[in-house]
Structure 1
Amino acid sequence: MYLRPSEIYFSQKEINNHFDKRSSHRNKNLGETLDELVEGQCSINNIPTISVMWRGGKWVTADNRRLWVFRHLEKLGKCTTIPVTEIYQIDPRKLNSITGGRTVRFYYGLSATGKWHHRVSSIDPDAALAAQPETSTRYVTRNPYTTSSLSMLRTPTSYDQQSPQRDYSNINDFHAAISNLSLSTTRNVERLNPLEVRFTKETITINSYFENLKLSLRYSANGENNNPITVYKVFGKYWVTDGNKRLWAYKETRSLNVGLCIPVKVKEDKEEFLELMRKDRPWLSLIDILQSGENIQILT
């Protein structure tokens, strides 16, 4: 599945400032890795996939250094979602965050090198986005991995569609392109009738966690103590992309708790929504998408 880095929380309060010897970026400072991703010198394929666990109503990872890099990429507007793998256990020794996983710091005396991380004032999910970088005469190579969720430009806009092969080799051209993007970063929490939200998967597998969530929701009016899921409001409807299992639990419980609402954070980015829908199923037509989502099949 895919999540925004801001939807993933740190498990630790402190991290090292470089990757260890087991990583493909062994002994490289986190700031240098960030710079290479921003400037297109490496791709997401060079960084192992983050593992996440649903814990305390939110996604938590023990891969804290990688999340540090991805949180910065998202704040810089150069990353939308990243692939993740769900796990069901994290070493208790790594569960010591003192900020609820919103931020993380380096061990005493350590820091990140490089330049791009300085453009981000905070990686707290609710903090403001990074300011536009200052004009520089340094050249930046456009990321060649444009089909990745780590493309230099988050979502194709009319600017890109008119010149799909445009080379943003000049930093000024690159800044102009970034300024034309719709970042869709609203984080206001709304509450919806779960029956009004559509699935975006055809099948899911339900484990004991989601069965227990369904039971707990029978006595909850507004899904309190549960993190909101991200939904896209496009084509006059609401769609969930990475919360299909949680949506299932809410829908199943709605018949027993008619006042139940689901907390959501709404995005209205049609291009990003279609990109996510077609990431694993590129053959989907717009008609296919519009006619889907009412039901979902549970695999056993």
Structure 2
Amino acid sequence: MTVSARRRRTGLAAWGFALPFTLLFAVFLLVPVASSLYMAFTDMRGADLRTPWAVNFVGFANFAEALADPKFQQAAGNTLYFVGVAMPLTLALALLLAVLLNSGLVWFRSVFRVGFYAPVVTSIVAVAVVWRFLLQPDFGLVNSALGAVGVDGPRWLTDETWAMPALIVMATWRNVGYSMVILLAGLQGIPRDVYEASSIDGAGPVRQFWSVTVPLLRPTILFCAVITGIGYLQFFEEPFVMTQGGPLGATNSVAYEIFNQFGFGNYGLSAAMSYVLFVAIVILSYLQFRLLRTEK
């Protein structure tokens, strides 16, 4: 068998192994993405499903309608509020926990790692049920604890002021374990020689953290920031399960508004909203890469 024939046979074998995934990828990802892009520029509604190619092309009208919609504007503001608070809070807590676990000052580190990571793999429905019980205004554990010290707790999930902070705390608690594990792995990859050399130069723990740990951990922080930002921009389960976007739209997110418009049968409008969200994700990821990249 010649070399070219052997290479051709190897290539055909490789394509044979890749074909099942390629077909699944095309059917369940590429085709839906292309369909949604097509819908974003049409006036497709629920009644047009039987004749999807007979709809009217409306250009950027859906995008203009989405950006001018007060409910979408409120949802966008809520999403920015959620991301702007929850993402730095999650990353800061994850880094703090990772540093503590890596320092050797915490006993039973494996137990702590499992405990903090368990909410990440727990069903959001189960998490929401627990947190709805904790945040009950009359008999919830949070307000009961506040009442024990003489503080009258608010109605967390039905108050416009406190509903979003309650969801932020819940989302941070649920997701901090993922970033903590990744950051802990990054910390364990930093050579101890670097810390010893900085100690000889007179650097204390605080100076070592800012001058050694953070710069060497930058790629890991970037990864966690991008993944967390992408996830939080698409936050949907929290308002869907706990508040249904209320009270008075205070916890309505862009993803939840897309879901609502799709449920109303406004397929073109919901597709346009989803691509607005996609552009926001791209912009946020770009800014994070510009801010946290190691090469200048």
Normalising by structure 1, we get a TM-score of: 0.25
Greater strand share, structure number: 1
Bigger radius of gyration among the two: 2
Higher relative helix content: 2
Greater RCO, 1 or 2 (C-alpha within 8 Å, sep 6+) = 2
- TM-score (ref. length: structure 2): 0.25
